[in-house]
Amino acid sequence: MTDTAQAADKAKIHEGKEADHHPYFRPRDAATLILVDRSSTTPKVLVGKRHDNVVFMPGKFVFPGGRVDKDDYRVPCAAPVTAELEANLARGSPKTPASRAKSLAIAAIREACEETGLCLGRKVEGKVPKLDGNWKPFADAGLLPDPSSLFLIARAITPPGRVKRFDTRFFTADASAITHRVDGVIHADAELVELVWVELGSKPLADLHPMTRNVLNELDARLATGPLRHDAPVPFFHFYGGKMQKDILG
């Protein structure tokens, strides 16, 4: 392949179009949590600024998120995933089973706590079940994760032709659901060096990844209609024939 052809191929992938010759990688489950502060007239969302030295999106503002871990299936919860959220997560083909739906919601909570120090949990009576690894901050605070305040905003799958592909569910929760803060998570050498609550439509949000902007636009539109509801349509962004498609999960 010539240098010109290679450059064109790279540009094609960068634009989100399918590269037919690239090996197919099955998307891995992932979750993102967008925390919203609606205490003022214009809603604010929490974004973190990535370290300048990280490989992926250095210096960019992002929402906390990441792939599902095996422990996300097993960790005990203070409350179950609501039936409405479970039903939304089950939509699509093939249908997502309840255990997988729970792991997605729990992964969003874990990633938010890991990356921002903000935990969505609930105090439990008696001795907290042993939690270790990435769940230790919850155990130390006498908490179990609580997914009951989460809403599903969108689902998006990374286009074919990428080395890393994710099947991401984007959740949102009100800032009032934050029950614990872990000190020292945000610092100059951390993955996220700064946390900022910014108004929807403000400058830090203009430089987000295009897919994240799509999801944020969906959230903005839903917030404009009043309180969040589980019965609102949930968009599904995916790529077919080299172009992005937007369907509604049903």
Is residue 11 in a domain?
A: no
Domain membership of residue 5 (yes or no) is no
Q: Is residue 22 in some structural domain? A: no
pLDDT value of position 22: 55
Listing DSSP states for 67-118 in one string gives EPPTHHHH---SSPPPHHHHHHHH-SSSPPPHHHHHHHHHHHHHHHHHHHSE
The CATH number of residue 241's host domain is 3.90.79.10
Q: How far apart are CA 214 and CA 157, in angstroms?
A: 13
Which is nearest to 115 in space by CA: 195, 37, 206? 195
Digit-by-digit pLDDT tens for the chain (250 residues) are 433 333 333 333 333 344 444 566 789 999 999 999 999 999 999 999 888 887 777 888 889 999 999 999 999 999 999 999 999 999 998 899 999 999 999 999 999 999 999 999 998 877 778 888 889 899 888 999 999 999 999 999 998 887 788 999 999 999 999 999 999 999 998 889 999 999 998 887 888 888 889 999 999 999 999 999 999 999 999 998 889 999 999 8
Tokens of 208: 């987000």
The residue segments making up the domain with residue 230 are 27-248
- Cα 182 to Cα 178, 226, 231, distances in angstroms: 11, 31, 33
Q: Do the domain assignments include residue 8?
A: no
In a domain, 208, yes or no: yes
Residues in the chain, total: 250
For residue 101, give the nearest of 90, 93, 112 by alpha carbon: 90
Question: What total number of domains does the chain contain?
Answer: 1
The single residue listed with the structure tokens 């906390």 is 64
On whether residue 227 sits in a domain, the answer given is yes
- 177 within domain boundaries: yes
Closest C-alpha to 56, from 46, 67, 45: 67
**Entry pTM:** 0.87
- 214: in domain: yes
Backbone angles phi, psi at 45, to 5 degrees: -120, 150
